[in-house]
Structure 1
Amino acid sequence: MLKGSDGRRRVISAADDLALHVGARVGMPVAQAEALFADLVIMDGDPTADSIVLEKLAIWALRRYSPMVAADPPAGLVLDIQGAAHLHGGEAGVVEDVVQRLAEMHITAFAALADTWGAAHALARFSGNQKRIIAPGQIADALVNLPVEALRLPADMLPDLRLLGLDTIGELAAKPRAPLTRSFGQKLFRRVDQAFGRLAEPIEPVEAPELISVQRVFAEPIGAPETIEKYTRRLTDQMCKRLEEAGLGVRRLDLHFTRVDNRIETIFVSTAKPVREPKRLAKLLCDKIETVDPGWGIDKMVMTAAFVEDLAMRQVVASYSEPARPDVEELWDVLANRYGTDSLYRAVPVATDIPERAVKRVPPTCDGTGSTRNAAFRRPQRMVRPPEPIMALAVLPDHPPRAFTWRGQRYAVARADGPERVRGEWWVSDNEKGKVRDYFVLEVENGERFWVFRGGDGQHAETGSLNWFMHGKFD
Structure 2
Amino acid sequence: MTRVVSIYLPDLATDRIRRADPAIPPEQAIAVIARSGSKRWVAAADAAAMKAGLRVGMPAAKAQALFRGLTMVDADPVADAAALERIALWALGIYSPIVAVDGTDGLVLDTEGADHLQGGEELMLTGVANRFRSTGLTARVAIADTWGAAHACARAITRETVIVPRGEIVRAVEKLPLALLRLPPKVVDDLRVLGFRTIGELANTARAPLAMRFGPELGRRIDQMFGRTSEPIEPVRSPEWIEVTRQFAEPIGAAETINRYVGRLVIELVAKLQRKGLGVRRTDLIVEKVDGTRQAIRAGTAKPARDVAWLTKLFKDRTEKIEPGFGIERLTLVAVVSEALEEEQRSSSLVEEEEDDVTPLIDILGNRGNKVYRLAPVASDVPERSVQRIAAAAEPTNETWLHDWKRPVRLLHNPDIVEVMALMPDHPPAWFSWRGKRRRVKCADGPERVFGEWWVRTSEVEAVRDYFVVEDDAGERFWLYRSGDGVDGGTNSHKWFIHGIFA
TM-score by length of 2: 0.83
Structure 2 counterpart of 1:274, which letter? P
Structure 2 counterpart of 1:392, which letter? V
Aligned-residue offset at 1:111: 3.1
- What does 1:316-335 align with in structure 2 at a 5 Å threshold? 316=346, 325-335=355-365
**1:13–1:88 CA distance, 2 compared to 1 (3 A):** farther
Of residues 108, 117, 122, the one that matches 2:152 is 122
Of residues 185, 195, 201, the one that matches 1:155 is 185
What residue in structure 1 maps to residue 441 of structure 2? 413
Aligned-residue offset at 1:216: 1.2
- What does 1:329-344 align with in structure 2 at a 5 Å threshold? 329-340=359-370, 343-344=371-372
User: Which has the larger displacement, 408-417 or 300-309?
Assistant: 408-417
Is it true that 1:288 corresponds to 2:314 in the alignment?
Answer: no
Structure 2 counterpart of 1:451, which letter? W
* Aligned-partner Cα distance in 2 for 1:186–1:444: 77
Of residues 360, 369, 387, the one that matches 1:359 is 387
Percent identical pairs in the alignment equals 47
* Aligned-partner Cα distance in 1 for 2:242–2:413: 46
**1:375–1:188 CA distance, 2 compared to 1 (3 A):** same
Of residues 9, 16, 33, the one that matches 2:59 is 33
User: Which has the larger displacement, 151-160 or 99-108?
Assistant: 99-108
Is it true that 1:16 corresponds to 2:45 in the alignment?
Answer: yes
* Aligned-partner Cα distance in 1 for 2:402–2:411: 16
Aligned-residue offset at 1:202: 1.1
What residue in structure 1 maps to residue 24 of structure 2? none
What residue in structure 2 maps to residue 214 of structure 1? 244
**1:324–1:119 CA distance, 2 compared to 1 (3 A):** same
* Aligned-partner Cα distance in 1 for 2:174–2:237: 35
1:406-463 CA distances to partner (integer Å, 9 max, x unpaired)? 2222222222222222222222222322122222222223322222222222222222
* Aligned-partner Cα distance in 2 for 1:54–1:392: 55
Is it true that 1:314 corresponds to 2:344 in the alignment?
Answer: yes
Is it true that 1:66 corresponds to 2:92 in the alignment?
Answer: no
Aligned residues: 465
**1:166–1:428 CA distance, 2 compared to 1 (3 A):** same
What residue in structure 1 maps to residue 16 of structure 2? none
Aligned-residue offset at 1:117: 0.9
**1:391–1:151 CA distance, 2 compared to 1 (3 A):** same
What residue in structure 1 maps to residue 299 of structure 2? 269
* Aligned-partner Cα distance in 2 for 1:442–1:42: 63
Is it true that 1:445 corresponds to 2:473 in the alignment?
Answer: yes
What residue in structure 2 maps to residue 57 of structure 1? 87
Structure 1 counterpart of 2:436, which letter? G
Indicate if the aligned counterparts of 2:42 and 2:60 stay in contact, CA closer than 8 A. Answer: no
1:363-400 CA distances to partner (integer Å, 9 max, x unpaired)? 11112246334354222223333222222222222222
What residue in structure 2 maps to residue 470 of structure 1? 498
* Aligned-partner Cα distance in 2 for 1:445–1:42: 70
What residue in structure 1 maps to residue 334 of structure 2? 304
Aligned-residue offset at 1:11: 9.1
Aligned-residue offset at 1:148: 0.3
Structure 2 counterpart of 1:67, which letter? P
What residue in structure 2 maps to residue 392 of structure 1? 420
Of residues 399, 415, 426, the one that matches 1:371 is 399
* Aligned-partner Cα distance in 1 for 2:346–2:440: 60
Aligned-residue offset at 1:336: 0.8
**1:201–1:383 CA distance, 2 compared to 1 (3 A):** same
RMSD over equivalenced CA pairs, Å: 3.1
**1:396–1:3 CA distance, 2 compared to 1 (3 A):** closer
What residue in structure 2 maps to residue 223 of structure 1? 253
| Residue aligned with 2:380, SS | coil
Q: Which runs of 5+ in 2 are unaligned?
A: 1-31
Aligned-residue offset at 1:228: 0.6
**1:459–1:290 CA distance, 2 compared to 1 (3 A):** same
Q: Which runs of 5+ in 1 are unaligned?
A: none
**1:147–1:459 CA distance, 2 compared to 1 (3 A):** same
User: Which has the larger displacement, 304-313 or 17-26?
Assistant: 17-26
| Residue aligned with 1:402, SS | strand
Is it true that 1:193 corresponds to 2:219 in the alignment?
Answer: no
User: Which has the larger displacement, 176-185 or 77-86?
Assistant: 176-185
What residue in structure 1 maps to residue 10 of structure 2? none
Structure 1 counterpart of 2:44, which letter? A
Of residues 433, 454, 457, the one that matches 2:485 is 457
Aligned-residue offset at 1:337: 1.0
